[in-house]
Structure 1
Amino acid sequence: MTPSTEPVPAPSHAQLLLLDKHQVDALLSPGDVQQAVREAFVLHSEREGRVFPVVREPLRTGGVFGIKSGDVQAQGLLGFKAAGFWPANRQRGGEPHQATILLIDPSTGRPLCVIDGNTVTTVRTGAAGGLGLQQLARPGSARLCLFGTGVQARIQLDFALRLIPSLNEVLYVSASGQRQADFEARFAARCSIAPATDRNAAVARSDIVITATPGGGALFDLDAVQPGTHLNCVGADTRGKRELPDGLLARARLVVDDRVQASQIGEMQWAPDTACVELGDLLSGKATFERDASDITVFDMTGLALQDLTVARLLHARAAETGTGTRIAWPW
């Protein structure tokens, strides 16, 4: 997408566009998000898109607050996402993950668009997971073990079923360890789905394992992971978080979204010297990946600012085309 050639409004006539949750939901489709996320990975690989150092800090309120930012100078794309995790929101009847995205005009520094980032974060992370599965999972993978039943677990499973047609059996592990009827109902028409009675046994019989939990500790034993398994790891996105057992990365072929970021806040923080490849390099053709049937592969997903920005740019353009959103005067 090339930078806009439209005249820039005079400072006194500048406007700020606001897109709320419902407007974002109406403007996004999974296929478009996947395309935007793929572009973000390729831009990162080709170093046309920059990812700035991540802020990710615990709060006294019990939440975790972070900022992910970056730009694509050739496209006039600049912005950030302020986001985090507030577990007490569940008691308030709200979503614990909260995110807000701000697009900025790089030529003036003025804000262009404020976007509710919750859906963006959910769907772009699901799309990234789907791309990881397409690149790394063993062909013909049929059985999947899913840790988590929350918003991110649901979107990860949705993209997995969407992009890996051979998947037909899902075992899941909920936070309570109990059956989640509502969760099962979402996917019952697309696969055989049931709770795992033994998490290690479920991992051992699965071709794909997806971990989408708050990252409080190892979810299964090292010996449960069999040759040929692929793992998408979503929950480790902060210092101190993990979902994988000690020693697994040493046995695996590791792919990350960003090498530095993963070594600081992802699963890779527990083994920072592990050799790895960035997913964007596989998508751009800079690197190749020949998968042996017995390889254990891991995609360590920490989330790129560029994913948020390419999806936000899509939303900004769609809102302009459709007249969606609230425009308020923002003179300077």
Structure 2
Amino acid sequence: MTDLTAVPGDDRSLRILSTGDLAGIDISLADVVETVEGANRTLHAGQSDNPRKLTVKPADGHSVAYAMLGRDGSRDVVAIKTSYKHGLDKGRDEQHYYTSLTVYDDVTGLPVAMMDCSRIGSLRTPAVSALLARECAAPGARSALVIGTGTQGRLALPFLLTTLPDLDRLMLSGTHPEGIATVREQLRSYFPDREVEVVTDLRAAAGDADVIVATAGGHTPAAVEADWLKPGALSVLVGHGLAPSTLHRADRVIATSEAQMNVTGTDMADADGKLPAVDAEFPQILAGATAARGSATERIFAYNSGLVVTDIALGHRFAQLALAQGLGTEVALWR
């Protein structure tokens, strides 16, 4: 594995890693899963800090912005992630989305890099969903349904196959032809012998699925209801595509972070504006401190809101790979 110690710099310059710089870096799905899993375990061990995210949103809901600060204790780095999306009241092609991660070495006190965080997020989130599936799916799970073909849906199936290689039926619910084509292309690039089945009857597909990963955008008409689910089904919410009943009628509720779910999951609240209590947070499950499920027939709802410590761990790994290749632009930011 690549050495993750910080690359020496100076206190007046900052290395900027663009979308293009990060695009060409080769990293396997298994490496991403391992990095993300390690960050969760370190957090559970009390070595890292992952405070609740800050959110601002205008009254008309046309945009949303987040700020997330964290510290990775295994790497001794501090970082802040920002995320801003504009045009939530418009179609996908009219939206603007910017996200960045700035990393500092907490041993030397020097900046490591500031980078576009889009690729990091596009890898981190489906890796967490795949880990949730590995830990929380019913024994012998063989079928998976992904709802949505946007950024978070396009690598969902390859990551699921990385952690659950025995899946033999892969289903996709999507409405954008370009997105569907990209999902097929991504699956073929990682698993050339596997095919995805595009489904049009969402209720029937949901009833057949052992694992459902909902990644669709806010305008999706898809809304899987609790009574569509088979016994033992695992429903993972990343974006949209699950109705609130899947949360409120679940036998067990798991979240990457209950605090973050209470911030970003308000669209899943009941008529009184309330969310149910979380039975377990995912870092506890990964560490073996809490069982993922009590029986093979429990219907489990998992909320994948992401943890900034996983962005930090994966971003730091990308930074080290990029710096080792001499990528990026040095900016005299503090001169």
Question: Match for residue 265 of structure 1?
Answer: 264
Tell me if 1:201 matches 2:207. Answer: no
CA distance in 2, matches of 1:176, 1:104: 39
Q: Is 1:91 paired with 2:108?
A: no
Mean Cα displacement is larger for which, 267-276 or 134-143?
Answer: 267-276
For normalisation by structure 1, the TM-score amounts to: 0.84
The reply to whether residue 44 of structure 1 matches residue 48 of structure 2 is no
| Residue 67 (structure 2) aligns with | 67
- The CA distance in 2 between the partners of 1:82 and 1:7, in whole Å, is 24
Counterpart for residue 19 of structure 1: 17
Deviation of residue 182 (structure 1)? 4.8
Identity of aligned residues (%): 20
| 3-state SS of 2:254 partner | strand
Alignment match of 1:278 (pick from 278, 281, 289)? 281
Task: Give CA-to-partner distance per residue, 1:46-102, whole Å, 9 cap, x none.
Answer: 22111123122335792321112211357431111111333558435xx75431111
Question: Partner residue of 1:239?
Answer: none
CA distance in 2, matches of 1:183, 1:75: 33
- Does the CA-based 8 Å contact 2:127-2:159 persist in structure 1? yes
The answer to whether 1:326 aligns with 2:325 is: no
The residue number in structure 1 matching 2:30 is 31
Residue 266 of structure 1: how far off its partner (Å): 2.8
Map 1:221-240 → 2, pairs under 5 A: 221-235=225-239
Partner of 1:146: 146
Q: 1:197 to 1:65 in 2, by over 3 A?
A: same
Letter in 2 for 1:280: P
Residue 166 (structure 1) aligns with: 166
Q: Write out per-residue CA displacement over residues 172-206 of structure 1, whole angstroms, 9 at most, x where no aligned residue.
A: 22146999445445436443423323211111111
- What is the identity, as a one-letter code, of the residue corresponding to 2:305? T
The alpha carbon displacement at 1:151 in A equals 1.7
Contact 1:257 / 1:302 at 8 angstroms: preserved in 2? yes
- The answer to whether the 8 A contact 1:178-1:195 is kept is no
Cα distance in structure 2, aligned partners of 1:277 and 1:43: 17
Structure 1 residues 80 and 164, CA, compared in 2 at 3 Å: closer, same or farther?
A: same
Cα distance in 2, alignment partners of residues 61 and 275 from structure 1: 27
Secondary structure in structure 2 of the residue aligned to 1:78: strand
Question: CA 1:231–1:28 in 2, change beyond 3 Å: closer, same or farther?
Answer: farther
Rounded Cα–Cα distance in structure 2 between residues aligned with 1:209 and 1:289: 16
Unaligned 5+ segments in structure 1 are 237-241
Offset, 1:122: 0.7
SS at match of 1:152: coil
Once residues 303 and 292 of structure 1 are traced to their aligned partners in structure 2, the CA distance between those partners, rounded to angstroms, is 26
- Is the Cα contact below 8 Å between 2:154 and 2:179 reproduced in 1? no
TM-score (norm 2): 0.83
In structure 2, relative to structure 1, the CA distance for the partners of 1:197 and 1:318 (3 Å cut) is closer
